[in-house]
Amino acid sequence: MEGLDEFLKENYGLITNLVELIPAIIGLILFKKYKNTPVKYIIYFLIYVFFLELIGGYPVFLKDIGYFYLIEGTLIEQNHWWYTIFWWIGLSTIVAYVNYQIVGEKRLKKIIKYAYGLYLLQVILYIIFNFKSIFSPERFISIASLWIVMLCIIIYFFETLNSDKIVLFFKSFYFYFNSIFFVWILVIMPLEFFQDYFIKEDWNFVLFKWKIHLTLNIFLYLSLAMALIFCDSENKVSISNGKYR
């Protein structure tokens, strides 16, 4: 077990990058299949996430090449700010946007629209008045992002269950997209409440959280990759009426 922990310490970032690269490549290969549907924005997001994670490893990279002193003692010495801004806000934006596009009922679309607007306003105000906090392991933005994502997913499921979409749900990429992130959120959300324990002095908790995150990442990105491959390309969403065709 100690050998596994040491391997995880040394290669966590590399494994994560490789797992994230798989759906990004598959998305590019199958882009033509989905280019006329909102799925293309999810493919863009998968590519975005790969580079986000790659760049987000800059503290380790700078240490490896001997240039960590350039950021040592500065606000960006750790990469909390990077993931707070680009991962959580990016995730909320793509989930809200895609579900806004595929939900047909105007009332539900308005809920997504105004809920996302309120979320964005809260995030902007929080960053303005608590600027330095985003450079530490803060929880407000991540938890707010999880709630808006959860709301959008629930709205999608609600409309699906109450429309003829339910007949073809098993062929829909959007069903798997929302289901996968729903499971991901159910596990991630409790961890965010224990973020205060994610410190180097408590390596047992750090490694425990890394293992959970890695397992979830493998589930998340490999599941999305499989959904891209096996979902019916003809099961598109008509933005005008919200029905499958």
pLDDT per residue of the chain (245 residues) written in tens, 0 to 9? 566 667 777 778 888 899 999 999 999 999 999 999 999 999 999 999 999 999 998 998 899 899 998 999 898 999 989 999 999 999 999 999 999 999 999 999 999 999 999 999 999 999 999 998 899 877 899 999 999 999 999 999 999 988 877 777 788 999 999 999 999 999 888 877 666 555 555 667 777 777 888 899 999 999 999 999 999 765 444 443 444 43
Task: Count the Cβ atoms, other than its own, within 10 Å of residue 103.
Answer: 26
End-to-end CA distance of the chain: 51
Residue 241 lies in a domain: no
Residue 244 lies in a domain: no
Residue 188 lies in a domain: yes
Q: Residue length, the chain?
A: 245
Alpha-carbon Rg for the chain, nearest whole angstrom, is: 19
- Contact between 73 and 130 (Cβ < 8 Å): no
* C-alpha 142, offset from chain centre: 11
Task: Count the Cβ atoms, other than its own, within 10 Å of residue 229.
Answer: 12
Which amino acid is located at 51 in the chain? F
| pLDDT at residue 1 in the model | 58
- The predicted model scores a pTM of 0.89
Distances (CA, A) of 14 to 56, 102, 206: 12, 35, 17
Residue 238 lies in a domain: no
Helix (H, G, I), strand (E, B) or coil at 138: coil
Question: DSSP string covering 43-77, please?
Answer: HHHHHHHHHHHHHHTHHHHHHHTT-GGGTTTSTTS
Residues with Cβ within 8 Å of 104's Cβ and at least 6 positions away in sequence, in order, are: 159, 163, 241, 242, 243
Residue 79 lies in a domain: yes
Residue 182 lies in a domain: yes
> How many domains is the chain partitioned into structurally?
1
Which position has the token pair 């390596």? 203
Task: Count the Cβ atoms, other than its own, within 10 Å of residue 43.
Answer: 22
Helix (H, G, I), strand (E, B) or coil at 102: helix
Residue 242 lies in a domain: no
Residue 235 lies in a domain: no
Enclosing domain of residue 193: 2-230
